[in-house]
């Protein structure tokens, strides 16, 4: 990864993380198709780039996190802990599945395309009830949904907000809970992936993570508002079909 690639991929991660279009899928495809990075490396870079947007979310939601740490929001703390733990129920099998398939650009593009179609369907079918609470059942369902975002092309923010909307949360509450959940979830994923694959200390990768942090922090407020107003299902459908088509070309 050279400096230009680092800045480009960092900007892409920082912006797309807050939109339900799979930031991981976008950075992987960009790395492979635009810069000729190997699928294995592109996947690894995409995982580590989440560290930047995790820090951005940590800074943006610092007041809420402080209240959780001081045990002023015990119900919310319990909700997030259950969701994080239940993520492993689906997340670990999905990760093991990924390890068994061939990491060729064909299969990866095809997989991302198919998963984007699923994300689009979830966005299209979501509903708003505004009657939900931070219950153990809803937390468990949220974690199960988040686990599927291990698959490239399944948007973590997309699937978690969809689950929250399906279970009755308002859009504003759903987005807030989704991004609060991302902080411990991404942290644990980074630690586990780093222990398994090894921590990378490439200078340009660190620059990319920093760019993702800055871009993510500067854009999170506006993109969350934007994402609540726009139906991204059609965009996911179009992008998914596009990736499926290019996988055969």
Q: Tens place of pLDDT for every residue, the chain, 249 residues?
A: 889 999 999 999 998 888 777 788 889 888 888 888 888 888 888 888 999 999 999 999 898 888 888 877 788 899 999 999 999 998 888 888 777 765 566 666 676 777 777 777 766 766 555 556 788 889 999 999 888 888 777 778 778 887 887 777 877 788 888 888 889 988 888 888 777 766 667 889 999 999 999 999 998 888 777 766 766 677 677 777 877 886 676
Predicted confidence at residue 83, as pLDDT, reads 94
Is residue 87 classed exposed, middle or buried when 0-12, 13-18 and 19+ CB atoms within 10 A define those classes? buried
Q: How many domains does the chain have?
A: 1
Give me the helices (H) in the chain, please: 3-16, 23-29, 39-60, 62-69, 74-100, 105-125, 136-147, 156-166, 171-197, 203-229, 233-248
Predicted confidence at residue 10, as pLDDT, reads 94
Nearest one of 227, 117, 131 to 176, comparing CA atoms: 227
Predicted confidence at residue 4, as pLDDT, reads 94
- Residue 42 belongs to domain spanning: 3-248
Structure tokens, 95: 């990760």
């Amino acid at each position: 990864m050279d400096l230009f690639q680092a800045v480009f991929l960092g900007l892409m991660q920082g912006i797309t993380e807050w939109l339900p279009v799979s930031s991981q899928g976008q950075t992987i495809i960009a790395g492979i198709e635009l810069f000729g990075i190997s699928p294995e490396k592109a996947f690894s870079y995409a995982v580590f780039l989440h560290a930047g947007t995790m820090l951005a979310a940590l800074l943006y939601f610092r007041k809420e996190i402080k209240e959780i740490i001081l045990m002023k929001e015990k119900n919310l703390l319990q909700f997030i802990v259950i969701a994080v733990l239940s993520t492993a129920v689906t997340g670990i099998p999905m990760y093991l599945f990924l390890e068994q398939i061939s990491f060729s650009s064909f299969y990866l593009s095809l997989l991302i395309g198919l998963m984007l179609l699923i994300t689009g369907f979830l966005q299209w079918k979501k509903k708003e009830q505004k009657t939900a609470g931070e219950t153990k059942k809803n937390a468990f369902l949220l974690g199960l949904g988040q686990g599927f975002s291990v698959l490239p092309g399944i948007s973590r923010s997309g699937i978690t907000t969809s689950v929250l909307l399906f279970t009755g949360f308002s859009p504003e509450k759903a987005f807030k809970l989704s991004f609060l959940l991302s902080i411990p979830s991404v942290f644990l994923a980074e630690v586990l992936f780093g222990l398994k694959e090894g921590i990378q200390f490439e200078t340009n990768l660190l620059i990319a993570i920093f760019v993702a942090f800055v871009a993510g922090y500067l854009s999170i407020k506006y993109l969350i508002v934007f994402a609540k107003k726009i139906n991204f299902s059609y965009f996911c459908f179009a992008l998914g079909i596009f990736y499926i088509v290019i996988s055969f070309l």
